[in-house]
Structure 1
Amino acid sequence: MRIIRKLRVVFSFVVVVVLFGCNEAMTSKTEQTTSENTTTGQNSDPMDLEIHFIDVGQADSIYIKLPNDEHVLIDAGNNSDGDLVVDYLEDRGVVTLNHVIGTHPHEDHIGGLDDVINHFNIEDVYLPNKSATTKTFEDVLTAIDAKNLTITRAKKGVTLFGEQINDKLLEAVMLSPISESYSETNDYSPVIKLTYGDTAYIFTGDAETEVEEEILDGGADLHADVLKLGHHGSITSTSEAFLNAISPTIGIISVGEGNKYGHPNQEIIDRLMNNNVQVYRTDEAGTIIVKSNGTKIEVGTKNSTYQPNPVETTTEDNDVTTTTEEINEITVVINEVLPAPKTVYTKEWIELYNTTSSNIDISGYILDDIEDAGSKPYTIPEGTIIEANKFYIIEFSRMFNNEESDDVRLLNSDGVLIDSFTYSNTEIDSSWYRITNGGPWSDSPTDNPTPNESN
């Protein structure tokens, strides 16, 4: 059985930090530096929105983890990508997909969707009003029928979700399809705008210029910071007018290396460059991960040598700083915390959980409470291994505040934060816990803790 020596898979992240809401006009700047641990931005809110543009070659698959701990999947690559997408989601602790969108019935978008639907708990499924006679499409319908799921038609005006999270708007709305009779199947792709706080993101599937013109004619607010380009960067999409209306800082292209279609089209690349858009491509960068706290945005890649097209940006209200640093993909999480023992338990304890299917060596990792304050940090001893999908308990005396709120922090041996949790109050012999292993946290503690067992 293989052992992962480090707690995480190391990403070389090109981090683009975008700060919003300035009181006066500013001249933006793009700076590139290399640093192992770089702090950027003033806002300390957690980067609790994650958008993963999964590298599925000449295809599309986008996984979104929302700040409310819900999970969204837009497309699932080709037929051969089903297992890859399932494994990717499993590795991130996904048990339930709250919103699944198949943009249109082409194999490079819905090919792996049946595998995903068969494997996970599914709440809502969205498909456009466009069918196909292919086995790929029939397999998706069969998977939907097998779970007695209801299809919601993807069309203009459909709201996937909308709520306030810590006084920040979290919303996703479909801007298309508008017509019921497009000549191109690609045009049935829903264009979706996701808003979180002061940041916005647009996903286009394979929607082409006819749909772009319809959206523009409808007067929708298209401004967004991140644009996932339509149709893999083909000349059929991303018109000058559409791009100008969005005015993105970052453009993402999901495309296969050396594909026979010539994607992305050089004219589109030139158009992006001329509009000062930083371009990230999965064929060059691998999987691309965008993170945000609703105020700033970080963009990272798995390719340690990848740099986006270096462009100088100038806008009136954004300050853009680019740095290169190592960011960690979490594979071990804080799973349960008991901060106030008395009768049933004699010591405080923390339960860690290995979310992966491999053993993980966590030697030298650190557990702490308040950053730069509070109790002395605890260093995990050398030779400590958490088996695949298993737990590890650490006991303490007087690590935490037993009466009020406190923080629980897990850091790697370099002092980089891996995971954290803040509890708001304590109850004697009760624990704060994730509702499912590696999943969202409970809203209140339980008087039935489960150390070394599934929550």
Structure 2
Amino acid sequence: MKINSRHYLFILLALIALSGTAQITPQSKAMAVHYIDVGQADASLLEFPCGAILIDAGVANNERIEQLTTYLDAFFERRSDLNKTLDLVIVTHCHVDHNRALQSIANRFTIKNYIDNGLKKGSGKKNQKWMQQEYQSIHSTYSFEAITAGGNASGLTNDSIDPINCNGIDPKIRLLSGSFENRPPGWSNTDFEKNGNNHSIVIKVEYGESSFLFTGDLDFEGIETMLKHYSAFDNPQPNNMVDIDVYQVGHHGAKNGTNEELMNAMTPMHSVISVGQWTNTTSWTASQYGHPHENAINFLLNGTTETRAISVKEWVGLKGESRGSKNVPYDRFEERLIDKSIYATGWDGTIIITVDDHKNYAIDY
């Protein structure tokens, strides 16, 4: 992990607040989420005192597969007590930027449980089919209908979804959404049949008083359907299940992955975008797709409650249609001041958020 002068003081103060728990050990009372810099793709490692979970196994291109496995090698070298074992791997949906490294990880490390959305179509279908076949005995999948059966508004959990139970603290891992078996009301056929992003698994992780949300590439239709079921605005609950502290920004900061309704339901303290760097190349970069988009950034700036220790200016995509599918760079962008607690792997490199069981956070990048 990188430390430089512009955020050294913030990290120092945060580590003091964490009372030395930022380095996770079997004896600590803290967890860490590693938002790994894998380019225009997604891979997040959840580190607990007694185990580890990987949410998505994407990298921007085949050349970066080794970068992800090397990161995991170094992690398991430090955490030798975990015996190169991932207690759970979740692939949110069947796109290659979320599962390109899946086979390499499965061949290199022990995986105890594997969850995906069950679909076998999309750019990542080859990897998803292979994993489902080779790891059939540990594979499970959950639809939105199964997760919310009987009006359940507390999320779904079981020993496969939540295999972590540490001495003295038991994290809670729940699925809030999955693939849709039937087309929800108001969805077009394209929303349901052709938009694989709308079938993303949504994961909520609670650790002590803290909570994290991972929405994959869930699009507006999926967001609206999820909020109608869970949000206190539409389905009053003693606790709003979507109200969280740390938000992994949906769809790499795309304009259709975050909206005002979602931000109002979450009220996140911190937001993290898994996204590539802005370059003038045309393949698998943030500039190809216009990520993060100004629409998402505006919602994040308005809705993220904490501030960055030091503000930064970063490139964001402007309004207009992405031409990424035609392999043409997205050429409408500008620098924006980022003063809220919003981080991005394309801006900051790998980001590690550590928190103890009393909601004391440290952010390292």
Common fold: TM-score over 0.5: yes
State the partner residue of 2:207. 196
Confirm or deny: 8 A CA contact 2:51 2:164 kept in the other structure: no
Instruction: Give the alignment partner of residue 17 of structure 2, picking from 41, 45, 65.
Output: 41
Rounded to whole Å, the distance in 2 between the matches of 1:143 and 1:238 is: 30
Residue 74 of structure 1, CA deviation: 2.6
State the partner residue of 1:83. 66
State the partner residue of 1:60. 42
TM-score by structure 1 length?
0.56
Post-superposition Cα deviations, 1:88-118, rounded to whole Å, max 9, x if no partner, equal 1111116111111111111111111111112
Residue 274 of structure 1, CA deviation: 1.7
State the partner residue of 2:236. none
Confirm or deny: 8 A CA contact 2:34 2:353 kept in the other structure: yes
Q: Which has the higher strand share?
A: 1
Rounded to whole Å, the distance in 1 between the matches of 2:354 and 2:249 is: 18
Structure number with larger C-alpha Rg: 1
Structure 1 spans left out of the alignment, 5+ residues: 1-8, 16-31, 302-455
Instruction: Give the alignment partner of residue 90 of structure 2, picking from 90, 94, 101.
Output: 101
What is the alpha-carbon root mean square deviation over aligned residues? 2.7
Residue 188 of structure 1, CA deviation: 1.0
Rounded to whole Å, the distance in 2 between the matches of 1:100 and 1:35 is: 29
Confirm or deny: 8 A CA contact 1:227 1:251 kept in the other structure: yes
Inter-CA distance 138–245: structure 2 relative to 1 (3 Å threshold): same
Residue 40 of structure 1, CA deviation: 3.4
Inter-CA distance 130–163: structure 2 relative to 1 (3 Å threshold): closer
Matches within 5 A, 1:37-436: 40-41=16-17, 46=28, 48-80=30-62, 81-93=64-76, 95-132=84-121, 136-156=124-144, 157=147, 158-159=156-157, 160-161=161-162, 165=166, 168-177=169-178, 179-180=180-181, 181=183, 182-183=192-193, 184-219=195-230, 221-258=241-278, 259=286, 260-277=288-305, 278-295=341-358, 296-301=360-365
Rounded to whole Å, the distance in 2 between the matches of 1:77 and 1:56 is: 5
Inter-CA distance 107–222: structure 2 relative to 1 (3 Å threshold): same
Give the number of aligned pairs.
276
Inter-CA distance 96–39: structure 2 relative to 1 (3 Å threshold): closer
Say which SS state the counterpart of residue 92 (structure 2) adopts: coil
Confirm or deny: 8 A CA contact 1:12 1:300 kept in the other structure: no
Inter-CA distance 142–240: structure 2 relative to 1 (3 Å threshold): same
Say which SS state the counterpart of residue 88 (structure 2) adopts: strand
Between stretches 101-110 and 139-148, larger displacement belongs to: 139-148
Inter-CA distance 35–243: structure 2 relative to 1 (3 Å threshold): closer
Q: Which has the higher helix share?
A: 2
Confirm or deny: 8 A CA contact 1:97 1:123 kept in the other structure: yes
Percent of aligned positions that are identical: 26
Residue 167 of structure 1, CA deviation: 5.0
Confirm or deny: 8 A CA contact 1:76 1:109 kept in the other structure: yes
Inter-CA distance 145–88: structure 2 relative to 1 (3 Å threshold): same
Post-superposition Cα deviations, 1:345-368, rounded to whole Å, max 9, x if no partner, equal xxxxxxxxxxxxxxxxxxxxxxxx
Structure 2 spans left out of the alignment, 5+ residues: 22-27, 77-82, 148-155, 184-191, 231-239, 279-285, 306-340
Confirm or deny: 8 A CA contact 1:118 1:143 kept in the other structure: no
Rounded to whole Å, the distance in 1 between the matches of 2:208 and 2:12 is: 29
> Which structure has the higher relative contact order (CA within 8 Å, separation 6+)?
1
Inter-CA distance 14–147: structure 2 relative to 1 (3 Å threshold): farther
* Letter matched to residue 137 of structure 1: K
Say which SS state the counterpart of residue 138 (structure 1) adopts: helix
Rounded to whole Å, the distance in 2 between the matches of 1:42 and 1:192 is: 25
Inter-CA distance 271–37: structure 2 relative to 1 (3 Å threshold): closer
Rounded to whole Å, the distance in 2 between the matches of 1:244 and 1:91 is: 38
